């Protein structure tokens, strides 16, 4: 009857393609393709936010941690949930009002300088590695269930993600995410948790058959818990894949309430995963690789057919993260990287833009992209191109987790201070942000390199925590010092930023009028 599990998972994959075709019918401009028309209500928003943040690390990793460490295994997913809560309660409403597409655009609007666009290169590396890691994760399920080679599993799963992400963009991803959210909820909360716990004898059965340390909330160790919060909580505050979901919210209220709901759901998901892992420790002792626990529970503990639904839940978590990273990478390239490279290659005009003119030009670029129908096919091509690149990375590099760790370290160590500083500290300047990103990134990389040379095991090198700490400390010191030593942000730029975060973006007509005025002034100077 194992064919029934295969049939259930196959039906899920076909369903994802259907969502892609369905979502494509709702695409008419760039805003529809990249941010679902900025029109998601509370239910769709909460579902898509849960789906993008709960990837393989949450579904497979969380249950594996529960198997190894007991109830304290919930800390990994809890750190993710806390990150979603902080983002939603503290920053999401203001971000939603900006009506932009990328993190780099936020930096330009806040500081009035184009030098912060270099952040887009780091963000691109992060989103690509995120998608590649998720691709490798769902491929591992296909290897177990179908008996395929790893490369074939990556190709088949990647083809499904590519089809629905490329054809329908964020609308297809949102619809697929909602389906994935439902499957994850059913698979984990309604099937894996009650069935595995029941077969293990309930909570009393766990207490009678597991050692006391399995019930210690700090059992995995303080250092590991801190690491999860540093990497995942802080990373979630500034990741392009997460912000892009914030931009899909219909209103600031949806971004706040829907995100808060998603954060609470994530924490509950983490607790459920840890308990499932504990039940597996009773029912399936002796599993050597803890990442195999999820699939083992689905195939050996759950009834045939139900196990297929549980496997689909795991694949859903991984595919949603992969598609989110993919469209985030395409958005960053189209909106930030290409303009950055063009600006570096083209000769500068005889007159440099003032900080406020930089803001107005950036505003005009984002506003025009909002309405552009012709850019949809360009974005589709970028999603397709990066999808192929991601599949190649996942197949060619056996340890993409190391690459993702490096990207996460630079993301947090290099960019966090400049981004969050711009949101909470009015005295922060563009020079301070730029130098903070440079020193934080370089400090993170150098520390990582030194530790890797001296490493006696993998957790003393690339996977160590020290690079992030060094990057954050250097970045914070430089940000404050340079900001205080340089002229404050142009008052007009800061006033426009504050007004925008409180009242929303200016009208398209006003933006285009400002842009025309700047162009006319530039022509007069030529």
**Average pLDDT across the chain, whole number:** 85
Could you list the beta-strand ranges (E) of 466-514.
none
Q: Is 40 helix (H, G, I), strand (E, B) or coil?
A: strand
Q: How many residues does the chain have?
A: 526
Written as six digits, the tokens of 382 are 């970028």
Angstrom distance (rounded) from CA 50 to CA 72: 21
CA distance 126 to 143: 26
**DSSP type of residue 249:** B
Give the N- to C-terminal CA distance of the chain in Å, as an integer. Answer: 76
**Could you tell me which of 255, 262, 237 has the C-alpha nearest to residue 86?**
237
Degrees (nearest 5) of the Cα angle 454, 456, 461?
60
Residue 53: closest CA among 18, 88, 21: 88
- Strand partners of residue 258: none
Q: What's this model's pTM, rounded to 2 decimal places? A: 0.90
- pLDDT attached to residue 195: 94
pLDDT tens, residue by residue, 120-174: 988 998 898 888 888 877 777 787 777 788 888 889 888 988 988 898 889 988 9
Q: What is the DSSP string of 88-119?
A: IIIIHHHHHHH--S-HHHHHHHHHS-GGGGGH
- Collapsing DSSP states into helix, strand and coil, what is residue 472? helix
Which residue is listed with tokens 């089809």? 163
pLDDT the model gives residue 509: 65
With tokens 């003119």, the residue in question is 357
CB-CB contact of 235 with 408 (8 Å): yes
The pLDDT confidence band at residue 523, using thresholds 50, 70 and 90, is very low
Q: What three-state secondary structure class fits 49? A: helix
Contacts of 516 (CB under 8 A, 6+ apart): none
CA distances to 397, 499, 515 from 69, rounded to whole Å, are 29, 49, 58
Residues above pLDDT 70, as percent of the chain: 89
pLDDT value at 220 more than 60: yes
Spell out the alpha helix ranges (H) of 334-464.
Answer: 338-345, 355-371, 375-396, 400-410, 416-424, 430-454
All structural domains of the chain with their residue ranges:
2-343+376-398
pLDDT (mean) for 274-288: 92
Distance (Å, whole) CA 263 – CA 184:
15
Say if residue 242's pLDDT is above 90. Answer: yes
> Residues near 308 by Cβ (< 8 Å), separated by ≥ 6?
4, 5, 6, 7, 8, 9, 298
Each residue's pLDDT tens digit, 487-510: 999 999 999 899 889 888 776 667
Q: How confident is the model at residue 1 (pLDDT cuts 50, 70, 90)?
A: very low
- CA–CA distances in Å: residue 386 to residues 165, 242, 377, 407, 508: 11, 18, 14, 17, 31
Kindly state the DSSP code that residue 429 receives in the 8-state scheme.
Answer: -
User: Which stretch, 207-221, 255-269, 360-374, 453-467, has highest mean pLDDT?
Assistant: 255-269
- Residue 312: pLDDT above 70? yes
Give residue-wise pLDDT tens across range 13-44. Answer: 888 888 788 888 888 888 889 998 899 999 99
Burial of 22 (0-12, 13-18, 19+ CB in 10 A): middle
- Check if CATH label 1.20.1730.10 holds for domain 2-343+376-398: yes
**What are the pLDDT digits (tens) for 104-123?**
999 999 998 888 888 898 89
Which position has the token pair 């369905």? 22
92: confidence class by pLDDT, cuts 50, 70, 90: very high
Residues 6+ away with beta carbon under 8 Å from 291: 60, 61, 64, 140
Q: Kindly report the CA angle at 335 between 330 and 338, in degrees rounded to 5?
A: 90
Residue 279, C-beta contacts closer than 8 angstroms, at least 6 positions apart: 196, 197, 199, 200, 206, 297, 301
CA angle, 142 as apex, 140 and 147 as ends, to 5°? 105
């Amino acid at each position: 009857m194992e064919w029934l599990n295969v049939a259930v998972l196959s039906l899920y994959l076909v369903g994802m393609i259907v969502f892609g075709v369905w979502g494509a019918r709702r695409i008419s401009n760039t805003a529809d393709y990249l941010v679902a028309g900025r029109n998601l209500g509370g239910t769709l928003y909460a579902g898509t936010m849960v789906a993008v943040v709960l990837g393989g690390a949450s579904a497979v990793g969380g249950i594996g941690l529960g198997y190894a460490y007991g109830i304290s295994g919930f800390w990994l997913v809890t750190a993710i949930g806390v990150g979603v809560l902080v983002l939603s309660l503290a920053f999401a409403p203001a971000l939603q009002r900006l009506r932009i597409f990328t993190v780099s655009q936020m930096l330009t609007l806040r500081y009035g300088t184009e030098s912060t666009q270099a952040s887009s290169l780091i963000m691109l590396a992060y989103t690509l590695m995120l998608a590649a890691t998720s691709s490798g994760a769902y491929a591992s399920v296909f290897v177990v269930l179908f008996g395929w080679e790893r490369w074939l599993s990556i190709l088949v799963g990647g083809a499904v993600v590519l089809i629905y992400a490329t054809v329908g963009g964020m609308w297809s991803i949102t619809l697929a995410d909602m389906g994935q959210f439902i499957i994850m909820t059913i698979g984990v909360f309604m099937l894996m948790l009650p069935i595995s716990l029941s077969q293990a004898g309930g909570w009393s059965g766990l207490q009678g058959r597991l050692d006391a340390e399995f019930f210690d909330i700090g059992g995995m160790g303080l250092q590991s818990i801190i690491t999860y919060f540093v990497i995942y909580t802080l990373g979630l505050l500034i990741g392009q894949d997460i912000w892009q979901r914030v931009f899909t919210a219909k209103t600031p209220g949806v971004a706040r309430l829907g995100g808060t709901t998603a954060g609470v759901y994530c924490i509950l998901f983490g607790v459920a995963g840890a308990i499932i892992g504990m039940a597996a420790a009773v029912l399936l002792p002796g599993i050597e690789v803890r990442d195999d626990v999820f699939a083992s529970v689905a195939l050996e503990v759950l009834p045939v057919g139900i196990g297929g639904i549980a496997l689909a839940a795991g694949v859903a978590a991984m595919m949603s993260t992969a598609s989110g990273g993919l469209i985030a990478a395409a958005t960053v390239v189209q909106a930030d990287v290409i303009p950055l490279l063009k600006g570096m290659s083209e000769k500068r005009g005889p007159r440099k833009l003032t900080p406020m003119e930089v803001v107005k030009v950036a505003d005009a670029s984002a506003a025009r992209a909002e309405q552009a129908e012709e850019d949809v096919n360009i974005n589709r091509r970028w999603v397709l191109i990066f999808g192929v690149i991601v599949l190649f990375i996942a197949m060619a590099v056996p340890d993409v987790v190391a690459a993702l760790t490096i990207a996460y370290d630079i993301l947090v160590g290099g960019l966090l201070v400049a981004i969050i500083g711009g949101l909470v500290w009015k005295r922060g300047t563009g020079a301070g942000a730029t130098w903070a990103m440079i020193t934080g990134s370089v400090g993170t990389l150098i520390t990582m390199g030194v530790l890797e040379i001296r490493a006696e095991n993998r957790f003393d090198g690339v996977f160590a925590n020290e690079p992030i700490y060094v990057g954050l400390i250097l970045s914070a010191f430089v940000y404050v010092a340079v900001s205080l030593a340089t002229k404050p942000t142009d008052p007009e730029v800061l006033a426009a930023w504050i007004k925008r975060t409180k009242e929303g973006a200016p009208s398209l007509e006003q933006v285009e009028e400002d842009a025309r005025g700047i162009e006319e002034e530039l022509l007069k100077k030529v």
